[in-house]
Structure 1
Amino acid sequence: MTVIADFFDALADRWDELCFHAPEKINYILEQTTLHKGLRILDVGCGTGILEQYLLTYAPVHITGIDLSPRMIEEARRKYATPIVDFRCMDIMDLKDEKFDYIIAYSVFPHFEYPDQVIDHLANLLVPGGELVICHSEGRENINGHHNKQANRISFGLPPAREVAALMEPYFHIDAMEDSDQLYMVSGIRN
Structure 2
Amino acid sequence: MNRVADFFDTLADRWDELCYHDPEKLNDILKKTGLRKGLRILDIGCGTGVLESYLLPHSPRQIVGVDLSPAMIERARSKYATPVVDFRCQDVWDIQGETFDYIIAYSVFPHFREPEKLISHLAGLLPTGGELVVCHSESRDKINRHHDKHAGKLSEGLPPVEELARMLSPFFTVGAMEDSDRLYMISATRKQTF
Q: TM-score higher than 0.5 here? A: yes
Q: Distance in 2 between matches of 1:176 and 1:120?
A: 20
Q: Distance in 2 between matches of 1:61 and 1:83?
A: 10
Are 1:147 and 2:147 matched, yes or no?
yes
CA shift, 1:87, in A, is 0.5
Q: Distance in 1 between matches of 2:6 and 2:19?
A: 17
Structure 1 residues not aligned, in runs of 5+? none
Question: What TM-score do you get using the length of structure 1 for normalisation?
Answer: 0.99
What residue number does 1:8 align with? 8
CA shift, 1:46, in A, is 0.3
CA shift, 1:127, in A, is 1.3
What residue number does 2:88 align with? 88
Q: Which amino acid aligns with 2:171?
A: Y
Q: Which amino acid aligns with 1:89?
A: C
Aligned identity (percent) is 64
Q: Distance in 1 between matches of 2:12 and 2:81?
A: 18
CA shift, 1:91, in A, is 0.9
CA shift, 1:51, in A, is 0.2
What residue number does 1:138 align with? 138
Q: Distance in 2 between matches of 1:161 and 1:73?
A: 29
What residue number does 2:100 align with? 100
What residue number does 1:110 align with? 110
CA shift, 1:153, in A, is 1.6
The size of the alignment, in residue pairs, is: 191
What residue number does 1:178 align with? 178
Provide runs of 4+ in structure 1 moved above 2 Å. none
Q: Distance in 2 between matches of 1:83 and 1:64?
A: 11
Q: Which amino acid aligns with 1:24?
A: E
Partner of 2:145, secondary structure, is: helix
CA shift, 1:20, in A, is 0.2
Q: Distance in 2 between matches of 1:67 and 1:164?
A: 22
- CA RMSD between the two structures: 0.7
Whichever structure has more strand as a proportion of its residues is 1
